Amino acid sequence: MEEFLSKPHAMMEHPQFPHLFSPLDLGFTQLKNRILMGSMHTGLEESKDGFKRLSAYFAARARGGVGLIVTGGIAPNRRGWLAPFGAKLSTNAEMRRHRRVTDSVHAEDGKICLQILHAGRYSMHPFSVAPSSIRAHISPFKPFEMSPRLIRSTISDFAQTAYLAREAGYDGIEIMGSEGYLINQFIAPRTNKRNDDWGGSFENRIRFPLEILRAVRAKVGADFIVIFRVSMLDLVDQGSSWEEVEALALALQDAGASIINTGIGWHEARIPTIATVVPQGAYAWVTKRLMGTLKIPLITTNRINTPELAEQLLREGYADMVSMARPLLADPEFANKAYRGESALINTCIACNQACLDHIFGGKEASCLVNPRACQETKFPAPELKAPHAAGKKVAVVGAGPAGLSCATELAQMGVEVHLFEQSASIGGQFNLAKRIPGKSDFAETLRYFEHLILKTGVHLHLNHKANAEELLAGQFDAFVLATGILPRTPAIPGIEHSKVCSYLDVILGRKVPGEKVAIIGAGGIGFDTAAFLLHPSETENPLEQYQKEWGIDTAYHERGGLMPAQIEKPKRQIWILQRSKGKIGERLGKTTGWAHRLALKNRGVQMISEVQYDRIDDAGLHVTIKGEQQILPVDHVVICAGQEPLRELVRPLQDAGIQVYLIGGAQEAAELDAKRAIAQGLKVALEIGA
Ligand code: FAD
Ligand code: NAP
Ligand code: SF4
Residues 216, 218, 224: CA angle, nearest 5 degrees: 70
Q: Is 354 a pocket residue for ligand 1 (Cβ < 6 Å)?
A: yes
Q: What is the pLDDT of residue 556?
A: 97
In the chain the first and final C-alpha atoms are separated, in Å, by: 37
**Residue ranges of the alpha helices (H) in 316-356?**
326-330, 334-339
Q: What is the pLDDT of residue 559?
A: 97
CATH superfamily for 491-537+572-642 is: FAD/NAD(P)-binding domain (3.50.50.60)
Question: In sequence order, which residues have a C-beta less than 8 Å from that of residue 171 and are 6 or more positions away?
Answer: 29, 68, 102, 111, 112, 113, 224, 225
Q: Is 525 a pocket residue for ligand 2 (Cβ < 6 Å)?
A: yes
Q: CA distances (Å), 189 to each of 131, 205, 286, in order?
A: 10, 8, 20
Contact between 354 and 364 (Cβ < 8 Å): no
pLDDT digits (tens, 9 = 90+) for 12-71: 899 999 999 999 999 999 999 999 999 999 999 989 899 999 999 999 999 999 999 999
Residues, the chain: 691
Contact between 620 and 501 (Cβ < 8 Å): no
The stretch 253-257 carries a mean pLDDT of: 98
Contact between 263 and 231 (Cβ < 8 Å): yes
Beta bridge partners of 78: none
Q: Is 54 a pocket residue for ligand 1 (Cβ < 6 Å)?
A: no
Taking the CA of residue 673 as reference, the ligand 2 atom at the shortest distance is 32
In a 3-state reduction of DSSP, which class is residue 605? coil
pLDDT digits (tens, 9 = 90+) for 535-588: 986 665 788 999 999 999 999 999 999 999 999 888 989 999 999 999 999 988
Query: Which residue lies with its CA nearest to atom 36 of ligand 2?
Result: 525
CA of 349 from ligand 3 middle (Å) equals 5
Q: What is the pLDDT of residue 4?
A: 42
CA of 641 from ligand 2 middle (Å) equals 7
The stretch 220-242 carries a mean pLDDT of: 98
Q: What is the pLDDT of residue 627?
A: 87
Q: Is 674 a pocket residue for ligand 2 (Cβ < 6 Å)?
A: yes
Fold topology of 394-487+645-690: Rossmann fold (3.40.50)
Q: What is the pLDDT of residue 455?
A: 97
Q: What is the pLDDT of residue 11?
A: 60
CA of 598 from ligand 2 middle (Å) equals 15
Question: Checking DSSP bridges between strand 621-626 and strand 629-633, what pairing results, if any?
Answer: antiparallel
Q: Is 666 a pocket residue for ligand 2 (Cβ < 6 Å)?
A: no
Q: Is the pLDDT of residue 650 over 70?
A: yes
Query: Which residue lies with its CA nearest to atom 8 of ligand 3?
Result: 349
How is residue 573 annotated by DSSP? Answer: S
Q: Is 625 a pocket residue for ligand 2 (Cβ < 6 Å)?
A: no
Distance of CA 258 to the CA centre of its chain: 27
Q: Where in the chain is the domain with CATH 3.40.50.720?
A: 394-487+645-690
CA of 507 from ligand 1 middle (Å) equals 16
Strands (E), 302-372: 321-324
The residue to mutate among 331, 356, 358, 683, having the most atoms of ligand 3 within 8 angstroms of its beta carbon, is 356
**Whose atoms come closest to the Cα of 427: which ligand?**
1
CA of 305 from ligand 2 middle (Å) equals 29
Question: Checking DSSP bridges between strand 621-626 and strand 612-618, what pairing results, if any?
Answer: antiparallel
The stretch 369-378 carries a mean pLDDT of: 98
Contact between 577 and 527 (Cβ < 8 Å): yes
> Counting beta carbons within 10 angstroms of the beta carbon of residue 615, is it exposed (0 to 12), middle (13 to 18) or buried (19 or more)?
middle
Q: What is the pLDDT of residue 318?
A: 98
In a 3-state reduction of DSSP, which class is residue 394? strand
CA of 55 from ligand 3 middle (Å) equals 20
d(CA 396, CA 371): 23
Q: Is the pLDDT of residue 99 over 50?
A: yes
d(CA 276, CA 458): 32
Q: Is 676 a pocket residue for ligand 1 (Cβ < 6 Å)?
A: yes
Residues 458, 464, 466: CA angle, nearest 5 degrees: 100
Taking the CA of residue 486 as reference, the ligand 2 atom at the shortest distance is 28
Q: What is the pLDDT of residue 539?
A: 61
The residue to mutate among 370, 407, 460, 484, having the most atoms of ligand 1 within 8 angstroms of its beta carbon, is 484
Strands (E), 32-120: 35-37, 68-74, 112-116
Q: Is the pLDDT of residue 618 over 80?
A: yes
Q: Where in the chain is the domain with CATH 3.50.50.60?
A: 491-537+572-642
The mean pLDDT of the chain is 95
Residue 181 is among the residues annotated as catalytic for this protein: yes
How is residue 486 annotated by DSSP? Answer: E
In a 3-state reduction of DSSP, which class is residue 640? strand
Contact between 185 and 192 (Cβ < 8 Å): yes
Q: Is 562 a pocket residue for ligand 1 (Cβ < 6 Å)?
A: no
At 391, is the pLDDT very low, low, confident or very high (cuts 50, 70, 90)? confident
CA of 58 from ligand 3 middle (Å) equals 17
Q: Is 58 a pocket residue for ligand 1 (Cβ < 6 Å)?
A: no
Taking the CA of residue 276 as reference, the ligand 3 atom at the shortest distance is 7
Q: Is 482 a pocket residue for ligand 3 (Cβ < 6 Å)?
A: no
The residue to mutate among 40, 278, 326, having the most atoms of ligand 3 within 8 angstroms of its beta carbon, is 326
Distance of CA 113 to the CA centre of its chain: 21
The stretch 289-306 carries a mean pLDDT of: 97
Report DSSP letters for 267-282, one per residue.
TT-SS-SSSTTSPTTT
In a 3-state reduction of DSSP, which class is residue 397? strand
The stretch 78-92 carries a mean pLDDT of: 94
Q: Is the pLDDT of residue 6 over 80?
A: no
The stretch 406-414 carries a mean pLDDT of: 97
Report whether CATH 3.20.20.70 matches the domain 2-6+17-361: yes
Beta bridge partners of 71: none
Report DSSP letters for 19-36, one per residue.
TTTS-EE-SS-EESSSEE
CA of 23 from ligand 1 middle (Å) equals 42
**Whose atoms come closest to the Cα of 596: which ligand?**
2
CB atoms < 10 A from the CB of 384, how many? 8
d(CA 158, CA 85): 18
d(CA 425, CA 447): 13
Q: What is the pLDDT of residue 384?
A: 85
The residue to mutate among 430, 447, 486, 503, having the most atoms of ligand 1 within 8 angstroms of its beta carbon, is 430
Q: Is 523 a pocket residue for ligand 2 (Cβ < 6 Å)?
A: yes
Going by C-alpha positions, the residue among 302, 297, 268 that lies closest to residue 285 is 302
For a pLDDT cut of 90, what percent of the chain falls above it?
91
The stretch 208-215 carries a mean pLDDT of: 98
Report DSSP letters for 408-431, one per residue.
HHHHHHTT-EEEEE-SSSSS-TTH
Going by C-alpha positions, the residue among 413, 435, 438, 418 that lies closest to residue 426 is 435
Q: Is 421 a pocket residue for ligand 1 (Cβ < 6 Å)?
A: yes
Q: Is the pLDDT of residue 1 over 70?
A: no
User: What does R_g of the chain's alpha carbons equal in angstroms?
Assistant: 27
CB atoms < 10 A from the CB of 658, how many? 7
What single-letter amino acid sits at 411? L
Taking the CA of residue 329 as reference, the ligand 3 atom at the shortest distance is 6
Q: What is the pLDDT of residue 385?
A: 85
Report which of residues 56 and 384 the model is more confident about: 56
**Whose atoms come closest to the Cα of 370: which ligand?**
3
Q: What is the pLDDT of residue 7?
A: 42
Give the CA diameter of the chain.
Answer: 83
CA of 388 from ligand 2 middle (Å) equals 40
pLDDT digits (tens, 9 = 90+) for 123-178: 999 999 999 999 999 999 999 999 999 999 999 999 999 999 999 999 999 999 99
d(CA 675, CA 430): 9
Q: Is the pLDDT of residue 447 over 80?
A: yes
d(CA 435, CA 440): 5
At 3, is the pLDDT very low, low, confident or very high (cuts 50, 70, 90)? very low
Q: What is the pLDDT of residue 540?
A: 55
d(CA 418, CA 690): 11
Q: Is 522 a pocket residue for ligand 1 (Cβ < 6 Å)?
A: no
CA of 281 from ligand 1 middle (Å) equals 28
Q: Is 354 a pocket residue for ligand 3 (Cβ < 6 Å)?
A: yes
Question: In sequence order, which residues have a C-beta less than 8 Å from that of residue 282 and are 6 or more positions away?
Answer: 273, 302, 303, 544, 547, 548
Q: Is 402 a pocket residue for ligand 1 (Cβ < 6 Å)?
A: yes
In a 3-state reduction of DSSP, which class is residue 147? coil
Catalytic residue selected from 163, 181, 318, 557? 181
d(CA 622, CA 37): 51
Q: Is the pLDDT of residue 281 over 50?
A: yes
pLDDT digits (tens, 9 = 90+) for 474-505: 999 999 999 999 999 999 999 999 999 999 99
Strands (E), 144-270: 144-145, 172-177, 225-233, 259-264
Report DSSP letters for 574-640, one per residue.
EEEEE-SSSS-TTTTS-TTTHHHHHHHHHTTT-EEE-SEEEEEEETTEEEEEETTEEEEE--SEEEE
Q: CA distances (Å), 147 to each of 128, 196, 200, 293, 535, in order?
A: 13, 10, 15, 35, 51
Q: Where in the chain is the domain with CATH 3.20.20.70?
A: 2-6+17-361
pLDDT digits (tens, 9 = 90+) for 500-511: 999 999 999 999
For a pLDDT cut of 70, what percent of the chain falls above it?
98
Q: Is the pLDDT of residue 8 over 70?
A: no
